């Protein structure tokens, strides 16, 4: 799905269409007042104050009809330049425009506005030349939006839309949106009983239901198993810490805006932790280490909390609490290359096994001109960035450099995935850190008996397990591979009077083998049960009828497939056990 904001022609078209929307709303609701109507990646929106009137999705076709009427009339869109004083006079009865004008730069003495027929609005532009060019649009949804994004301000109504040059482009885009809607992990999560949210619990605080926790446990066991084979030691640390811990690490100075407010208990100040590295630094520092002990790999599936604005929340992809597949590797300088290469190899191995193919590597570096975001030590930064760049070049990894994307304490390698829905984001990461070990006074004894400071690699393979589940649900449309599916097999007897006994024996046999199996013995037609099985995304549906009972076989149909396969019972069970054990990807 293309980014409309980055396409100059589409950006102009959509911004012009936002004005068309505002003009139509003004015709239908003369008392309407307008805040801003920018172009966004998905199209455009306009924030509108309609007083006591609340729009719903059912109102959008009527607004579209008025927009088409205006477009057909084909008025020219004319740019005017007026003084600030003239602008204040022109919009004197509009508090939103007055606010915009009054906050403009004092040196900005000339203000541009655009007129199309009976409608004039402030705008820098550019716009298309005529409303007749705005024919291929669609209003998508309406929602609430606080004025200026401040929850203390009035709630406005935000109407979203999109516009293209041709009807074919619009139709193709709408099909993509419909596909994205079907893949949206929030819809799948609700339909498949994976997670839920509740305003009473709190925004951005999802809760995993039994089906979701099965997926969670399988992923946790999968990645922990791989880490244990590589010598990782797993720990458990508390989801909060004292303010002093985060002052020592530097997070309080450099990351405070993303942290929840501090809490005071018995004179001590605590904060919910945004990440786990300070705790793992303390675990390393709990005992004396020799160079022979290194590398030490400390891993944890750790619960973290970060403050996210409510508008940025998105199901389990982006919440205010999440669990990281986190680890910190304490190494000597000589071990950086081999350990970093091992992390990269683990990422590639996991991606291959889970069939993740759309990804790329970014080397995230600091912006040297930013004296606030980054820990102030030029020598340390130059050393860290040059070391990491050389490691990546030596292992032959293709990457692009991104200035200003590093963590405050060090550069990092990010793996950007292209999900089936929305824009790419970071899934896995590995960070090189010379800073935190110094701040925590960590050390090891070298061959000569001298104290040395270790280097730390921060790494997350699945990233946050929450985000990974969201990503994987959208990639698979909820049809997860057998080993991850909450229910792996659905047994459907054709007639309970004749086939339930055989079906029950099969159910018990599979259950004893730890297969997650369901027996659908409801008094419903087979076709209805089959459709339900598909809706619930159960990988295998087994049909038990006369032939299966008489021949000691089963007939199965894979979810999404039309053909039915018959085979001996024991052969099927062996096939299923192998598919689960080897974590096959269909």
Q: Just list the catalytic residues.
A: 277, 306, 324, 326, 328, 412, 458
* Cα–Cα dist 396/390, whole Å: 10
With both helix axes pointing from N to C terminus, report the angle between 210-229 and 336-353 in degrees, rounded to the nearest 10: 140
Backbone angles phi, psi at 306, to 5 degrees: -135, 145
3-state SS, residue 135: coil
- CA proximity to 439, closest of 278, 198, 302: 278
> Which are the contacts of 211, defined by CB distance < 8 A and separation ≥ 6?
192, 193, 194, 486, 487
Helix, strand, coil distribution of the chain in percent, nearest 5: 40, 25, 35
Q: CB atoms < 10 A from the CB of 205, how many?
A: 14
What are the Cα distances from residue 108, in Å, to 89, 96, 101, 323?
A: 16, 18, 10, 48
* Cα–Cα dist 303/326, whole Å: 10
* Cα–Cα dist 558/581, whole Å: 18
Backbone angles phi, psi at 171, to 5 degrees: -60, -45
- CA proximity to 121, closest of 263, 8, 21: 21
> Which are the contacts of 117, defined by CB distance < 8 A and separation ≥ 6?
23, 70, 73, 75, 131
Cite the beta strand spans of 508-548 per DSSP E: 517-519, 540-544
3-state SS, residue 449: coil
* Cα–Cα dist 434/127, whole Å: 51
* Cα–Cα dist 366/368, whole Å: 6
- Are 519 and 491 in contact by the 8 Å Cβ rule? The answer is yes
What are the Cα distances from residue 506, in Å, to 265, 542, 569, 573?
A: 56, 10, 9, 10
């Amino acid at each position: 799905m293309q980014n409309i904001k980055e396409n100059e022609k589409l950006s102009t078209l959509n911004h012009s269409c936002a004005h068309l929307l505002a003009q139509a709303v003004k015709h239908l609701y003369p008392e309407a007042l307008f805040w801003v109507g920018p172009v966004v990646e998905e199209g455009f929106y306009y924030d509108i104050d309609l007083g006591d009137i609340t729009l719903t999705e059912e109102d959008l076709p009527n607004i579209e009809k008025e927009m088409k009427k205006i477009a057909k009339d084909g008025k020219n869109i004319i740019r005017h330049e007026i003084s600030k004083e003239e602008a204040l006079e022109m919009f004197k009865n509009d508090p939103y425009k007055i606010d915009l004008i009054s906050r403009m730069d004092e040196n900005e003495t000339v203000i541009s506005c655009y007129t199309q027929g009976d409608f004039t609005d402030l705008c820098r532009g550019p716009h298309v030349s005529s409303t007749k060019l705005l024919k291929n649009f669609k209003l998508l949804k309406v929602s609430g939006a606080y004025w200026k994004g401040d929850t203390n301000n009035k709630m406005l109504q935000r109407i979203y839309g999109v516009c293209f040059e041709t009807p074919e482009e619009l139709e193709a885009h709408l099909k993509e949106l419909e596909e994205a809607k079907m893949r949206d992990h929030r819809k799948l999560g609700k339909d498949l009983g994976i997670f839920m949210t509740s305003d009473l619990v709190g925004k951005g605080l999802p809760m995993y239901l039994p089906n979701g926790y099965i997926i969670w446990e399988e992923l946790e066991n999968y990645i922990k198993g791989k880490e244990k084979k590589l010598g990782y030691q797993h720990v458990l640390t508390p989801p909060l810490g004292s303010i002093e811990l985060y002052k020592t690490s530097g997070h309080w100075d450099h990351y405070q805006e993303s942290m929840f407010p501090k809490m005071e208990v018995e004179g001590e100040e605590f904060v919910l932790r945004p990440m786990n590295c300070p705790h793992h630094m303390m675990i390393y520092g709990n005992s004396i280490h020799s160079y022979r002990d290194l590398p030490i790999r400390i891993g944890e599936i750790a619960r973290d909390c970060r403050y996210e604005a409510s508008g940025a929340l998105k199901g389990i992809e982006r919440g205010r609490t999440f669990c990281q597949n986190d680890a910190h590797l304490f190494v000597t300088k000589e071990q950086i290359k081999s350990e970093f290469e091992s992390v990269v190899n683990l990422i590639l191995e996991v991606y291959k096994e889970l069939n993740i193919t759309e990804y790329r590597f970014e080397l995230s570096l600091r912006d040297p001109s930013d004296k606030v975001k980054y820990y102030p030590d030029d020598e340390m930064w130059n050393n860290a960035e040059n070391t990491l760049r050389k490691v990546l070049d030596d292992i032959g990894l293709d990457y692009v450099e991104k200035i200003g994307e590093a963590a405050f304490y060090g550069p990092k390698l990010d793996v950007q995935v292209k999900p089936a829905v929305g824009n790419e984001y970071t899934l896995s990461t590995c960070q090189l850190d010379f800073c935190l070990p110094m701040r925590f006074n960590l050390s090891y004894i070298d061959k000569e008996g001298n104290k040395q400071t270790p280097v730390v690699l921060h790494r997350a393979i699945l990233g946050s397990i929450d985000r990974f589940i969201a990503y994987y649900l959208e990639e698979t449309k909820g049809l997860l591979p057998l080993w991850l599916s909450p229910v792996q097999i659905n047994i459907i007897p054709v007639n309970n009077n004749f086939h339930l006994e055989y079906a029950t024996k099969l159910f018990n046999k599979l259950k004893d083998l730890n297969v997650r199996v369901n027996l659908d013995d409801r008094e419903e037609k087979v076709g209805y049960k089959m459709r339900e099985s598909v809706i619930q995304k159960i990988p295998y549906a087994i049909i038990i009828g006369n032939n299966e009972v008489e021949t000691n076989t089963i007939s199965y149909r894979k979810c999404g497939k039309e053909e039915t396969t018959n085979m001996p019972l024991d052969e099927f069970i062996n096939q299923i056990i192998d598919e689960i054990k080897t974590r096959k990807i269909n």
